[in-house]
Structure 1
Amino acid sequence: MVIMNQEIKQLYAKIESLEKENKALAESIGDDAPSKNIFARSKDGILIFDDNDKIIDVNPSFCEIINLDRTELIGRHLADIVPVNKQFKLDKQRELLKMKDSVRGILPIHSGKKIVEFDFTTSTLNKSGYYMSVLRDVTDKRLLEKKVKKNEELYTDLFIEALDGIIFWRGSGKIIDANESACRIFECTHDELLQKRLDDFVYEKNERYKRIVKNLFDKGGIRDELFFLMPNGQIKSLEFTVKLNSVEGYHMTIFRNVSERHRMEKELRESELKFRRIFEGALEGILLWNDQFQIVDINQSGQRMLQMSKDELIGVSLHSILNDCNITNDELNQQINSIKNDGQSDGSLSITLKSGRKKYFEFSNKHNVFSNLSMTTFKDITEKLEMEEQLRKSDTLNVIGELAAGIAHEIRNPMTALKGFIQLLEDSIEEDHSMYFNVITTELSRIDSIINEFLILAKPQAVKFVQKDIAQIMKETVELLSAQAVLHNVQFRIYYEKELPLVFCEPNQMKKVFINIIKNAIEVMPKGGYITVSLQACGDNKVKVSIRDEGSGIPGHKIKKLGEPFYTTKERGTGLGLMVTYKIIEEHKGTIEVESKLGKGTVFHIYLPYIKKAGEQ
């Protein structure tokens, strides 16, 4: 670089001048006994010492330079005034003087708290056997040399080896110097660049370019970005910083090629746009989460399925969501370990949403998909499971219906005969055998009840749906079962929401549903307790009927089987009661959900649709 080269040359010239003065002084002294006149008047320090490095005499200049009196120096040894870590130079000087008449070098000497560096020439005095050193203070010279060296390193680091292109130019825009990086950026040799002006490379000298130039000369410096046309026809986007009058009136511009960065940014934006379209348009729910299992994003389908907004979910831990899904700690740890160890995991779970509706989801986790983010995809399989369950139950009911239709008639004929003969024998039964008669009568009634339930499944019932107050049906049911509840030390807690909408139903069948569930609740509490009945309107235009007991509860794997033919948790039950209950609710377009905790009881939630009144939202 021209400007920095001029400064370095000036420093070298000053150093060379000092060296010439030192050489002339050494030659003026000669080999004879020291001239008193030269000794006293010399600007350089002169020091005379013997074979043991003991100081014999010193001149005034040396005393002045190191700030010590002559009397303080005579009689001392050189080692007393030379730093310990540099005393090896004295040993080296002694060895060289045995082989030749004079020695030259650099020697540091103590001067109070600082060190003065001397350029010395030591010669042998022939007649006296002493040695004389002529010492010139070169502390400033050494500092200059260090500065020159530092400037050279700085010049190499900042200009020659810089990764960014650096160009110096005159006010007319004429390029006067450029580094290698600038040559590479502008696709030119150094000589070719020196024949150019900076604006020769500007692709478009439009209004924006003119504003940049004006701002530069108004402010004295600017940072911006423009398109530049290279000699080979290539167009590059260059980011540049300009500083006017940077060095000795010359201007400096630093260039950086950002074409590749812009290309990558454009590809990244396009890739992100594609990802966002796929992410938001996916039918499946998609969750993105970080290494701390915190949710960082969720698509619209996921928000819709979970009935939660993005603001509610972002920052929430997956642990808290999974903890709300009634899965065990072992299952949770197994899922997390699968994600960490295998990079992915799959499964299914159930979540109770804000509306109280229970939903089932299939999910798939993939670890560290991109940018240290992992992804979970999930889909709602509630309807699929419900359809499979309905299909399975429908197939079962069809089989039972056909079976019931075939055997009900065959059973009813002998049952009629048995009942008739029992009634004929009733008056002739002795008192001792009355207990057997009662058992036979009770069991015949139980068989008749089972046959009736079979017939409900075997053929469609002639039912008439009407708009009815479901609370009134429940009140009548509770009154009907109050006596049985008292016998078992069971009490009712009733919570009815006011002004419930009317439900389109068959009242007798609904009463049969409530009787079946409440009777079961009474029977599972042999030691007594409370049955809590609540009715309320909920979302989706439905009335929710909840019947809660305080029994021993039902294990999770058994809840799924409730309503199946002949499946019961009671010792003498047939399972037909709940099966009929499920069938009636299904015919009313309703649903049944069961919640249970072992040792705490069970609650049946029945959801029945109602018809909106005219004008209701």
Structure 2
Amino acid sequence: MPTSNSSFERQKLLEKLSNDEGIYSELFMEAIDGIILWEDGGNIVHANESACRIFETSYNEITKCKIEDFVVDKDKKYKEILNVLYKRGAIRDEILFFMPNGQSKILEFTMKLQSYTGFHMGIFRNVSERNQMEQELRKSELKFRRVFEGTLEGIILWDNEGVVQDVNPSGEKILGASREELIGKSLKHMMARFSGNLDEMREIITQITMNGSYEGRIQLQGKGNENKLFEYLVNYNLFSEFTISTFKDITDKVEMEERLRKSDTLNVLGQLAAGIAHEVRNPMTAVKGFIQLLENSLKKESDHDMYFNIISTELARIDSIINEFLFLAKPQAVRYMENDIINIMRETVKLLNAQALLNNIQFRTYYEYGLPKMMCEGNQLKKVFINIIKNAIEVMPDGGYITITIKRLEDQTVRISIQDEGGGIPQDKLEKLGQPFYTTKERGNGLGLMVSYKIVDEHNGAVQVESSEGVGTTFHIILPMNN
């Protein structure tokens, strides 16, 4: 190992490199990485062309310097590097170097003591661009992570095998499941967990792979086993072979849109009802009066009695339709009072029992006793029960049973279920129930059910319908116990 920076020792080094021409040309002078040889004390004794380019200086200038002359900060890290180097004899690291032309570069280096003919060797590579790219990538990843975790929409990342790789906090909240429960699970497993349609999922994946992206709506079973409607957007292989899916719960939004649509319909009906009340009722009153005069002027044994009865019945039907229009159109003077919901149902059943017996129909009732009284408008709820039970009677021409159940639910609501044994309602028609002029009966206008839906809505309740063709239909009326 040399003890000084003598020209004699440097000459010996150059002579050895010159004598070994193959190594000199191939490994040293033509190396892409910068190579520097230095002696004890840090004085540089030799450098290849790449080293001169990296350090932005000439061969004559660089051999007059020490490596530490190019180090920007001789801080704690620099001292640790020297300690490791002289303790282990070799080190690999990177620090910031300052060039004679004013540039600063991050250089990755490997240093080894007594590496060549007793001199120490360092191999240098400029990694400033790589370091900058890594910093930008980290910043980009940080931005993505902040957006990923902060967005109000749910986000799921899954790979080409359909396995969930990540889910954001909003996604956990919307689905009611933690990251630990979802990450590593397949989409098929997720769909099964949330009671989704597997065939629908396969079709979605097919569309995604064909088109690169896909958006739509899907129904899943959320927390509390409630059916939720989700709107989603999927971008296939968006980055790093991951597919990103964003989704949000639009159940409340769709319900609100439906309420607004029905509200608009009611407004139109209100205007129509006002016209009907004025334009129809006045002439109808005159017609009724003249019919009565005409009927009284003829003998009761006249053959025209049947015609008078038909005319009177149809006029009464017209008057009933007008009343239903006016109920929908005008705000009702509602007085909410404490009422026993079971007594209201008993009075309704008693009122309709005769009509049921004429049609060979019997009532089966199952009431949960001990229910507290509810704040409601008893007469309006009775109108709802009458409408639904009369519909049940009309769809059972061959007789049977109408089953009425009143039960308290866990969420402080009461469910009134009215089940018939009629022919059932096709699934594509269930969603239209409650719309004006839509009915499944031959003689009907659909206003009865619409009135019933409106009354239940005003009581902050909901109507749910279940039906199976050939089996029957069940109307569930859900009402809050404390309105």
TM-score for both structures, normalised by structure 2: 0.75
Aligned twin of 1:591: 462
Q: Of the candidates 255, 259, 262, which is equivalent to residue 390 of structure 1?
A: 262
Match of 1:336 in 2: 205
The residue number in structure 1 matching 2:405 is 533
CA contact (8 A) 1:222 1:241 kept: yes
Q: Please give the alpha-carbon distance, in whole angstroms, between the structure 1 residues aligned to 2:283 and 2:165.
A: 67
Residue of structure 2 equivalent to 1:275: 144
CA distance in 2, matches of 1:499, 1:284: 44
- Distance, in Å, in 2 between the alignment partners of 1:274 and 1:204 is 30
Q: Work out the number of aligned pairs and report it.
A: 466
Q: Any unmatched runs of 5+ in structure 1?
A: 13-151, 613-617
2:479 paired with 1:608:
yes
CA distance 1:409–1:393, change in 2 (3 Å): same
Distance 1:9 1:583, change over 3 A: same
| Partners of 2:439 and 2:446 within 8 A in 1 | yes
Q: Which 10-residue stretch deviates more, 162-171 or 229-238?
A: 162-171
SS at match of 1:462: coil
> Structure 1 pair 265/3, CA: closer, same or farther in 2 (3 Å)?
same
Q: Percent identity?
A: 48
Structure 1 CA distance for aligned equivalents of residues 406 and 185 of structure 2: 34
Equivalent position of 2:7 in the other structure: none
Question: Equivalent residue for 1:202?
Answer: 71
In the other structure, the counterpart of 2:381 is 510
User: Which range moves more in the overlay, 437-446 or 335-344?
Assistant: 437-446
Q: Which residue identity is paired with 1:570?
A: K
Alpha-carbon spacing, 1:226–1:305, altered in 2? closer, same or farther (3 Å): same
Q: Work out which of the residue numbers 267, 277, 288 in structure 2 matches 1:405.
A: 277
Deviations along 1:152-172, one digit per CA (max 9) or x if unpaired, are: 58x877655555444333332
Asked if 1:569 is matched to 2:440, the reply is yes
Q: How many angstroms apart in 2 are the aligned matches of 1:220 and 1:479?
A: 103
Within 5 Å, which residues of 2 pair with 1:38-77? none
- CA contact under 8 A between 1:538 and 1:544: conserved in structure 2? no
In structure 2, what is the Cα distance between the partners aligned to 1:214 and 1:531?
90
Which aligned pairs between 1:5-84 and structure 2 lie closer than 5 A?
A: none
Whose relative contact order is higher, 1 or 2, with alpha carbons under 8 Å and at least 6 apart?
A: 2
Summarize the alignment of residues 130-141 of structure 1 with structure 2, pairs less than 5 Å apart: none
User: What is the identity, as a one-letter code, of the residue corresponding to 2:87?
Assistant: D
User: Given the superposition, is the C-alpha separation of residues 437 and 163 from structure 1 closer, same or farther in structure 2, using an over 3 Å criterion?
Assistant: same
1:578 to 449, 453, 458: 449
Tell me the equivalent position of 2:130: 261
Equivalence map 1:404-443=2 (5 Å): 404-406=276-278, 407-408=280-281, 410-411=283-284, 414=287
1:465 is aligned to 2:336: yes
CA contact (8 A) 2:97 2:105 kept: yes
Does structure 2 retain, via aligned residues, the 8 Å contact 1:295–1:317? yes
SS at match of 1:195: coil
Structure 1 position 370 matched with structure 2 position 209: no
Task: Give per-residue Cα distances to partners, 1:237-295, cap 9 Å, x unaligned.
Answer: 22333333445543333334332222122222322333344444545554444334444
Cα distance, 1:313–1:546 mapped onto 2, change above 3 Å: farther
What letter matches 1:398 in structure 2? G
Give how far 1:509 is off: 1.1
Partner of 1:173: 42
**CA drift at 1:6:** 5.2
Counterpart CA distance in 1 for 2:291 and 2:256 is 48
Alignment of 1:142-291 (within 5 A): 162-247=31-116, 249-291=118-160
Distance 1:392 1:351, change over 3 A: farther
Note the alpha carbon deviations across 1:557-597, whole angstroms, 9 max, x for none: 42332212221012222212101101212322333344555
Cα 1:375–1:549 shift into 2, 3 Å: farther
**Gap change, CA 1:295 and 1:395, over 3 Å in 2:** farther
Q: Distance in 1 between matches of 2:276 and 2:190?
A: 47
Structure 1 contact 165–180 (Cα < 8 Å) conserved: yes
The answer (yes or no) to whether the contact 1:503–1:608 under 8 Å persists in 2 is: no
1:62 is aligned to none
Alpha-carbon separation, structure 2, partners of 1:388 and 1:169:
84
Instruction: Quote the Cα distance in structure 2 between the aligned partners of 1:328 and 1:397.
Output: 42
CA contact (8 A) 2:277 2:322 kept: no
In structure 1, C-alpha distance between the alignment counterparts of 2:48 and 2:225, rounded to whole Å:
72
Aligned to 2:3: none
CA contact (8 A) 2:155 2:244 kept: yes
Q: What TM-score, normalized by structure 1, do the two folds share?
A: 0.61
1:520 equivalent in alignment to 2:391: yes
User: Which whole-Å CA distance do the structure 2 matches of 1:228 and 1:475 have between them?
Assistant: 93
Paired position in structure 2 for 1:49: none
1:366 counterpart letter in structure 2 = N
Which deviations, in whole Å up to 9, do the C-alpha atoms of 1:215-254 show, x marking residues without a partner? 3323333333322112222222223333334455433333
Query: 1:460-500: CA deviations, max 9, x gaps?
Result: 4333112334455445545665676675566647474x876
Q: Match for residue 148 of structure 1?
A: none
Please report how far the alpha carbon of residue 342 of structure 1 lies from its aligned counterpart in structure 2 after TM superposition.
2.6
**1:576 partner letter:** L
What do the CA deviations read for 1:24-75 (whole angstroms, capped 9, x no partner)?
xxxxxxxxxxxxxxxxxxxxxxxxxxxxxxxxxxxxxxxxxxxxxxxxxxxx
Distance 1:285 1:210, change over 3 A: closer
Deviation, 1:355, is: 4.1
Q: 1:533 to 1:179 in 2, by over 3 A?
A: farther
Q: Distance in 1 between matches of 2:418 and 2:13?
A: 95
Cα distance in 2 for residues equivalent to 1:363 and 1:210:
55
SS of residue in 2 equivalent to 1:167: strand
- Give 1:201 shift: 1.5
Q: Does the 8 Å contact 2:460/2:479 carry over to 1?
A: yes
The residue type equivalent to 1:212 in the other structure is I
2:342, 2:367 within 8 Å by CA — same for their partners in 1? Answer: no
- 2:437 match: secondary structure: coil
| In structure 2, distance between residues paired with 1:163 and 1:470 | 90
**Aligned alpha-carbon RMSD (Å):** 4.6
Whichever of the two has the greater Rg, that structure is 1
Is the 1:361–1:382 contact (alpha carbons within 8 Å) kept by the matching residues of 2?
no
